[in-house]
Chains A and B, each alone.
Chain A
Amino acid sequence: GAVVSQHPSRVICKSGTSVKIECRSLDFQATTMFWYRQFPKQSLMLMATSNEGSKATYEQGVEKDKFLINHASLTLSTLTVTSAHPEDSSFYICSARENRGSGNTIYFGEGSWLTVV
């Protein structure tokens, strides 16, 4: 079946540095990918919708200059957390919508744990 790969699965970075998380669709093309964040004991929060070849659409309250999203190809979207702070520590998960004529199949990555120290 279709697979979405996230890398790294776990990362620790120092406060003030930037960290990049990759989301790849391994055997399908995805014009649209989604980035979510999950706070402890809460549901996933949609951060932004990433569209190949165009700017991402950010949800209200999400700082676009802090969470940079690039979707340069049909199989790769990246999320860069810039100038990370401890409050950015969280579980980040991406999903990708398979390009098909009909239906709405969305595949999720396994998530990335970010710890900012």
Chain B
Amino acid sequence: GDSVTQMEGPVTLSEEAFLTINCTYTATGYPSLFWYVQYPGEGLQLLLKATKADDKGSNKGFEATYRKETTSFHLEKGSVQVSDSAVYFCALRVIYNQGGKLIFGQGTELSVKP
């Protein structure tokens, strides 16, 4: 079945460090891919998305490229800030006859220290 696998957390980085959170997926169809972020005490927010192969989603300095050949959608940021501390979720959606379902990874907690 469809699934998403993320690297396990927590990930602890110093401010201005480079961030990579790995995400790989398996899907029977042609999914759209998403990264969601959940800041402490808040609900999920869409961070970025990509709907077809080689698309790059970007937002707030974060980037992820849809790699069909490696079935991956790794999240990267060149220089993290303390305010980036949150839980990050990779997700896919495959559209079926009437809507689709979101499949989430387990989440990766990021902690950025000053």
Contacts and interface: CB of A to CB of B under 8 A. Distances in A.
Interface of A: 1-2, 9-10, 34, 36, 38, 42-46, 59, 91, 93, 95, 103-108, 110-111, 113
Interface residues of B, number: 20
Contacts of A36: 43-44
Nearest to A108: B104
B87 interface: yes
A108 B102 CA distance: 9
Contacts, number: 54
B69 interface: no
A105 B107 contact: yes
Contact of A113 (B10, B36, B99, B109): B99
B42 A1 contact: no
Contacts of A45: 43
A106 B102 contact: no
Given A44-B36, A104-B9, A111-B101, 7 more contacts: A43-B36, A44-B43, A91-B102, A95-B104, A106-B107, A108-B104, A113-B98
Nearest to A9: B101
B103 interface: yes
Interface string B80-92: 0000000101000
Contacts of A103: 9-10, 109
B10 A106 contact: no
Contacts of A105: 106-107
A59 B9 contact: no
Contacts of A43: 36, 44-46
Given A45-B43, A46-B42, A93 B102 contact: yes
